[in-house]
Amino acid sequence: MSTPVSVSISGKDYQIACPEDEKPALIASAKMLSDNMEDIRATGKVVGLDRIAVMAALNIANDLIKLQNKQNDGSDDLDNKIMQMKNKVNAFLDEVSQLDL
Q: Identify the three-state secondary structure at position 73.
A: coil
Q: Has this prediction a pTM greater than 0.75?
A: no
**Mind listing the pLDDT tens digit for each residue in 18-40?**
999 999 999 999 999 999 999 99
Examine the pLDDT at 101 and tell me if it is beyond 60: no
Q: Which of 1, 68, 60, 3 is nearest to 30 (CA)?
A: 60
**Domains along the chain with CATH numbers:** 2-100 (3.30.160.880)
- On whether the CB atoms of residues 16 and 5 are closer than 8 A, the answer is yes
Alpha helices in the chain (DSSP H): 23-43, 49-72, 77-100
- How many percent of the chain have pLDDT more than 90? 50
**pLDDT-derived band at 87, boundaries 50, 70, 90:** confident
Q: What is the mean pLDDT of the chain?
A: 85
Q: Identify the three-state secondary structure at position 58.
A: helix
